[in-house]
Amino acid sequence: MKQIPPAIQESYRYLKFKAHGEEKSIGDVVDAVWDSAIAYMGTEGVSDADIWIIGNKFDKEKQEGVIKVKSRKEDSLRAALTLNNGFEDESFLSVKRVSGSISGLD
Amino acid sequence: MPQFQDFFINQELKETAKEFGWSSESIECSVKIIEADDWGELKQKINKNRESYDILAFRGGDHELNRKAFSTPKMDVVLHPEKGRKDSGMNHVDAERAAENNVAIGFSLQQVPETGKRQSQILTKWRKNLKLCEKYDTPYIITTEAEKKSEIRRPRDLAAVTKSLGSEGNNPVSKYPDEILKKNLKARKNSSNYSGVEVVE
């Protein structure tokens, strides 16, 4: 398939997050991000945000990972993670760093 | 590099707060949160505590008292004016008075339930108040009022909440609290009796 011209491509932000609290698996984190985003932004908002939790970037030891989201929805996703932790216990996610590319997070 | 300030984080969480990017200056400063049922009590408590504390805040909720607090230059922050109300707890007159007297509106995360109808109702009120603050150039701050480690959030995450509700920039966690703290530290240093009164030499 031919690539969409750069001028009309959406720009994305990569959010490096850290999970605080008890140790979590990637599955727990994915569920928490989706639950929290849907609770705050609604189904329409989440579909527009095009959220993607990058599986191979999750570091279980450090409890850190990367979320990809459309740049204009970055604040909404951060607000969602701040207001609803999405976990059943008191664990929560905080955004450590934001970049326009994955390599920029290192 | 901006300094991020939250006056209402429990001082026992100082180390964690520093890790999260909050400045230690705001956590170390002395804060008094006043609760009052009528104007007489509020006035008395303001006069009694103004000189002894760096930051003086009032727990809002009653519209009449909210307005009195917004009209008092000695007050620094009116926390959650919308608490326990069906409306947002302030209107354009209050916003104007708060801007004139340099009283900040405090948005507290403690007022926001985890999910559901109540959360959206509170955020609707926040949206209205933020719109007024932006229009009348009223200072406003956002705080977690964290009492335990799991309640602390990063400054930019908190700013993202107000941004997603229609405000701009990181002002509620950097510019506005910084201005309040600097103004009060200067006033106390000059041993002025009143916040808002400057000794001119």
pLDDT, tens only, B10-68:
989 999 999 999 998 888 889 999 999 999 999 999 999 988 899 999 998 899 999 99
Rounded CA-CA distance B73/B69 in Å is 8
Cβ–Cβ under 8 Å, residues B133 and A74: no
Is B153 within 8 Å of A82 when comparing Cβ atoms? yes
Q: Is residue B25 part of a domain?
A: no
Conformational region of residue A20, where left means phi above 0, alpha means psi within -120 to 50, and beta covers everything else: beta
Residue B6 within a domain: no
Residue B170 lies in a domain: yes
Statement: residue B160 has pLDDT above 80 = yes
Reported ipTM = 0.84
CA dist B101 and B123 (Å) reads 26
- pTM here is 0.87
Residue B78 is assigned to a structural domain of this protein = yes
B76 close to B57: Cβ distance less than 8 angstroms: yes
The residue among B188 and B23 whose pLDDT is bigger is B23
Q: What is the CATH number of the domain that holds B179?
A: 3.20.20.140
Kindly state whether residue B165 falls inside one of the protein's structural domains: yes
Residue B198 has pLDDT above 70, yes or no: no
Q: What residues 25-64 of chain A have any CB closer than 8 A to a CB of chain B? A: 39
Chain A residues in contact with B112 (beta carbon < 8 A): 83
Whole-angstrom Cα distance, residue B200 to residue B159?
36
Q: Is residue B2 included in any domain, yes or no?
A: no
User: How much is the pLDDT for B25?
Assistant: 86
In-domain check, residue B132: yes
- Nearest CA to B29 among B81, B76, B79? B76
Q: Crossing angle for the helix pair B155-164 and A74-83, nearest 10 degrees?
A: 110
Q: How many domains does chain B have?
A: 1
**Inside any domain, residue B3:** no
Q: Minimum mean pLDDT among A10-24, B74-88, B187-201: which range?
A: B187-201
For residue B45, what are the domain limits?
11-17+30-200
- B150, A21: Cβ pair inside 8 Å? yes
| pLDDT tens column, A26-82 | 999 999 999 999 999 999 999 999 999 999 999 999 999 999 999 999 999 999 999
Contacting residues for A55 by C-beta, under 8 A, at least 6 apart: A26
> Rounded mean pLDDT of B129-140?
94
Q: Which of B60, B83, B82 shows the shortest CA–CA distance to B72?
A: B60
Cβ of B119 within 8 Å of Cβ of A83? The answer is yes
CA dihedral B119, B123, B125, B127 (to 10 degrees): -170
